[in-house]
Structure 1
Amino acid sequence: MSGLSRREKIEAMLQNEPNDEFLRYGLACEYDNEGRDEEAWKLFDGLTRDNPPHVASFLRGAQLLVRMDRINEARAVLRTGIEEARRQGKMHPAGEMAELLTELGKMGE
């Protein structure tokens, strides 16, 4: 796999493990870093719908939505993410999401 980009390596590994949460999150982050917003959002959104939902994807997905100027969607993702993080006992990510939600204030309304 030498000579391949990080994204290409992750895509290759996903061929063998298509449901791997870590790989899917990594690919979403790579897409996000490359400016492939819709592809990144599709993966983050899918991860938030896993059982159990992938908590970090709520925050990273909401941050992406904010950059895409989809503020109201970002708020909804954050609210759901905060609830889920608390349910899973992940208070640090819940706090980060609450902070972003507060920062958004009335933006986009």
Structure 2
Amino acid sequence: MNERIEKLKTFLAASPNDCFLNHALALEYVKLGDETEAKLLFERNLQHDPGYIATYYHLGKLLERIAATQEAIAIYEKGMAAAKQAGDMHTYNELQGAYEDLAY
């Protein structure tokens, strides 16, 4: 298994609720093409901290790749609301662009 994945798992063992580490691990699984594991990790992030807005875009793109279009649209919508609440207009605009590309 990938050395970065092993390191991230070690760090997560010490800090299991660290959204940054969990997100980074999910992205490593995306690189390996393991959409199932990545999806579980992204979803865990949002369950633990719905305000961790970086996860919405990547989960939405993953859902698009696995042809879960309606789920992706819903994730983008939730992400836009979270980004707006956080005052992060850059992320809001990225999510809105992905949403519009998919929904229209």
Alignment TM-score > 0.5, same fold:
yes
Equivalent pairs, count: 103
2-structure distance, mates of 1:57, 1:18: 16
Identity over the aligned pairs, expressed in percent? 32
* TM-score with structure 1 setting the length: 0.88
1:91 equivalenced with 2:89 (yes/no): yes
Deviation at 1:79? 0.3
2-structure distance, mates of 1:71, 1:93: 20
2-structure distance, mates of 1:60, 1:52: 14
Gaps of 5+ in 2: none
2-structure distance, mates of 1:71, 1:48: 18
Larger radius of gyration: 1
Deviation at 1:33? 1.0
Aligned to 2:4: 6
Structure 1 counterpart of 2:18, one-letter code: D
Q: Deviations over 1:13-44 (max 9, x none)?
A: 11111111111111011111111111101111
Q: Which has the higher helix share?
A: 2
Gaps of 5+ in 1: none
Aligned to 1:18: 16
Q: Choose from 46, 49, 54 the match for 2:47.
A: 49
1-structure distance, mates of 2:69, 2:14: 36
Contact 1:47/1:53, CA 8 A, preserved across alignment: no
1:62 equivalenced with 2:60 (yes/no): yes
Dislocated runs of 4+, deviation >6 Å: none
2-structure distance, mates of 1:105, 1:52: 22
